[in-house]
Amino acid sequence: MTYTTQLDAAKKKIITKEMKCVAEKEHMAPELLCEKIAAGRVVIPANIMHTSLSPEGVGEGLRTKINVNLGISKDCYNIDAEMKKVQVAVDMKAEAIMDLSNYGKTRAFREAVVNTAPCMIGSVPMYDCVGMLDKELKDITEDEFLKVIEQHAKDGVDFITVHVGLTRALAEKVKDSRRITHIVSRGGSLLFAWMLANNKENPLTSQFDQILDICEKYDVTLSLGDACRPGSIHDATDTLQIQELINLAALSQRAYAHNVQVMIEGPGHVAIDDIEANMLLEKRLCNHAPFYVLGPIVTDIAPGYDHITSAIGASIAASKGADFICYVTPAEHLRLPDLEDMKEGIIAAKIAAHVGDIAKGIPGAIERDHAMSRARFDLDWNTMFELAIDSEKPKAYRANSQPIEEDSCTMCGKMCSMRTVKKVLHGDDVNLM
């Protein structure tokens, strides 16, 4: 029996090699994974052109995955630096990389990323339109937008973000809204400008069926972008955001009927007490489709530390059902992240994902914490380093400040509680002098 996409195969109860690989990684029966894909609750982004891919699943009952954004820009056009970031992201075991390049001829870079990285690769074709077509935004035609999308699919990206929920009617409401930050989505702002300049409907929305044809042909997963995501906690969970989510829910069902896998993108900047409601809304409105969140960032006043404000929000989001976390770096809102910013963002996102997995009861998640606790009680430093999300920093801290007693650290020395209790339990003398 033949199939066109992972979703088509799952509907036909065909277990693909990608499903077998993901099931093994997730310690899940392939048959159960296949059922979840068939129900639209799990996706395996796996473009048929991405031959170096080691597939990952995103969705219900699976480990929370993280995505790393990178790419070339006009002000920081350095392909070598971005390729180094790609390798570091792969080495740090990020499950996905999104190429957000937005300047010049980006295809060579995109192809290099696809050929280099075994993780899922995503892109936002909207960012590439001006450079690829050598045309001003307002002069691009509907068919030309499709041309760029198909090129990205041919180049092997596993998922693409398309801001199809921002309709012309919703764009008019944005103009009159009481939002502080209006539209902070880059792709959404470009489409907003195009619609108003051309007095037409969103070209991605009006040509959604043609986009589905392209995605089915290459098995590209759609990540339905939230053009109206809040860029400030003031704007969170307002009528613009919810109306767009309702639009995306309807479009996700059209994609499902077309055998195209779908994720839904979510906020954004959200006050901490609103996060659970946002997760619930997406799951109920969008038939439990995988939810891909940027943060959420829980306060607007910590520039330079938004990897922390994001990790706080992402931990709660993941614990309440978010399936995929887009990392945020300390450079958010300030500049293109450098390599160290990227590393900090990845670690923060991995911590948040793991916190969420503990709450969701993902097999093996809490066991790792228990193993760390045992290693701490045993004062087994090497095992602690092996179990740590980031082993480099704790190793460096330990090496930088050596204690007199090996079974302690320079914080407590011989007064280490673990050392004292172990000696008592083993019947040894507790000598602190």
69 is in an annotated binding site: yes
The answer to the question of whether 426 is labelled as a binding residue is no
Does the annotation place 333 within a ligand binding site?
A: yes
pLDDT at 433 over 80: no
397 is in an annotated binding site: no
Per-residue pLDDT of 399-431, as tens digits, reads 999 888 788 888 888 888 988 888 889 898 888
Residue 103 pLDDT exceeds 90: no
> Any binding-site annotation on 3?
no
Residue 387's pLDDT band, with cuts at 50, 70 and 90, is very high
**Residue range 292-299: average pLDDT?**
97
Average pLDDT over residues 123-139: 95
- d(CA 77, CA 290) in angstroms, rounded, equals 33
Q: What is the rounded CA–CA span in Å between residue 320 and residue 417?
A: 35
Task: Indicate the helix (H) or strand (E) that contains 262.
Answer: strand 262-266
Among 296, 283, 219, which Cα is nearest to 252's? 283
Q: Tell me: is residue 373 an annotated ligand-binding position.
A: no
The whole-number pLDDT of residue 1 equals 82
Is the model's pTM score more than 0.85?
yes
- Quote the mean pLDDT of the chain: 96
Query: What is the distance between the alpha carbons of residues 255 and 117, in angstroms, rounded to a whole number?
Result: 27
- 364 known member of a binding site: no
pLDDT band at 432 (very low <50, low <70, confident <90, very high): confident
- What is the tens place of the pLDDT at every residue in 331-351? 999 999 999 999 999 999 999
Annotated binding residue at 368? no
Rounded to 10 deg, the angle between the 125-133 and 186-198 helix axes is 60
Report the number of distinct structural domains present in the chain.
1
* 146 in a structural domain: yes
Residue 22 lies in a domain: no
Q: Is residue 153 part of a domain?
A: yes
**Looking at the domain assignment, is residue 280 inside a domain?**
yes
**Residue 388 DSSP symbol:** S
Residue 12 lies in a domain: no
Instruction: Tell whether residue 127 is among the known ligand binding residues.
Output: yes
98 is in an annotated binding site: yes
398 assigned to a ligand binding site: no
Q: Which domain holds residue 276?
A: 39-360
What tens digit of pLDDT does each residue of 206-262 get? Answer: 999 999 999 999 999 999 999 999 999 999 999 999 999 999 999 999 999 999 999
Please check if 228 is assigned to a binding site: yes
Q: Is 269 annotated as a binding residue?
A: yes
Say which CATH number the domain at 60 has.
3.20.20.540
Is 415 annotated as a binding-site member?
no
Q: Which residue do the tokens 């009528």 mark? A: 239
